[in-house]
Amino acid sequence: MFWSWAFLVVTLVGAWFTFNAYVPHRRTGPFIVPSFFAGWLTSELSAHHFAWQLAATIFFIWVGALDAWPGQVGLGITLLSWAGLASLVPLARRSEPVVEASLAAGLGADYRSAILPEVALRMDVAGPATHSLNPFRFKHPDVEVKHDIAYLPDGDPKHRLDVYAPRVGVQNAPVLLQIHGGGWVIGNKREQALPLMYHLASRGWICVATNYRLSPRATFPDHLVDLKSAMHWIRENIAEYGGDPNFVAATGGSAGGHLSSLLALTAGDPEYQPGFESVDTSVRACVPFYGIYDFTNEYGLQAYSGLGGFVERTVMKKNQSEDRDAFRRASPLHRVHADAPPFFVIHGSHDSLASVEEARHFTDVLRKASHQPAIYAEIPGAQHAFEIFHSLRTTHVVRAVDRFLSFVYSDYLRRREAA
């Protein structure tokens, strides 16, 4: 009987993982974080989950777990869980037509023809097959990384960045600035967007991943000031690494989505450039992933009611009731303007931690105000942080970002040639 009950417990755990991939917890309470982790890992690694469940089932059958009714019930639960895991694969494949339709709607149905041939040659090349077996294998033979370069001379490890570059060497290559997330309080430049950066760097881009000061020690806008300092460093130094200082795009996930959007929308704002007010900190494009766009929650779109209090206590260190304008200035939603660069806003439909409704609204406001394209792709079945390691969904989204940036870069090259 022991093995039968043990098998039932294990199958319930496996089924709970599968369930959260479909029905994540999105409201306040203690289940948000466990639900996120369960849904996140299962959605992106469904084959790996099937493998451990299969191994567990074989073991329990071998020790006689099916000799009693709890084991037989467990087997039925396992079969249902496997059916759910199998259905996650076509759900992940839907990412490809979704992102393509989003790009076509925002850039035009024939947008691919606007990508210069020499740029298009580097796109959409399949990654190594080993990614499907080891989703955490990031290194690429064609990419070299220079670590821990100081972008400010103060010796603070938070003021360092990494440069990802093609091993063969390039000149005047487009540049991507990656801003990590972690709720403004944790995170590191080496932890996020690695599939995207290695993909682009292997195809001729220079990618810069930067650290910045974190709360609670840092108080907003310290985070943004640091990122603009990193932009200052890029303008003055990236040519030494093969990059074009005049073409820099920004990306980031979660808190990095918030900060990359603010960076893109506050170019030249002296409030965030103390001592280097005249430096051009504009970016040519922005690709925020599952970001937070409104610290004020003015439209009541945030699913997690505790976010506002956390931001007040830890990030802003003031109450909205005392200085609401400060929270508006810190919100990308309230910094939108007609001269915003092209945006490609990406969010998962099953995000537990950042409101998908807020991402939709942010993009709608951008579309109405900006002279440039504002594209929104809602990735079916995707959780928060879905693209930080390799998966089928990650591959489709990374290639879509490549196409978007290639479109913007081609436009830049044409304009530079005509000038």
Residues designated catalytic: 254, 351, 384
Q: How far apart are CA 320 and CA 287, in angstroms?
A: 28
Who contacts 364 (Cβ-Cβ below 8 Å, separation ≥6)? none
Listed in order, strand segments (DSSP E) in 130-262 are: 143-150, 160-166, 173-179, 206-210, 243-253
Report whether the peptide linkage leading into residue 216 is cis, meaning its omega lies within 30 degrees of zero.
yes
Q: Which two tokens stand for residue 37?
A: 């982790």
Task: Identify the three-state secondary structure at position 44.
Answer: helix
Nearest to 405 by CA among 244, 286, 260: 286
Q: Which two tokens stand for residue 38?
A: 């369960």
Listed in order, strand segments (DSSP E) in 117-253 are: 143-150, 160-166, 173-179, 206-210, 243-253
Task: Identify the three-state secondary structure at position 166.
Answer: strand
Q: How far apart are CA 103 and CA 397, in angstroms?
A: 11
Sign of the Cα torsion 330, 333, 338, 341 reads positive
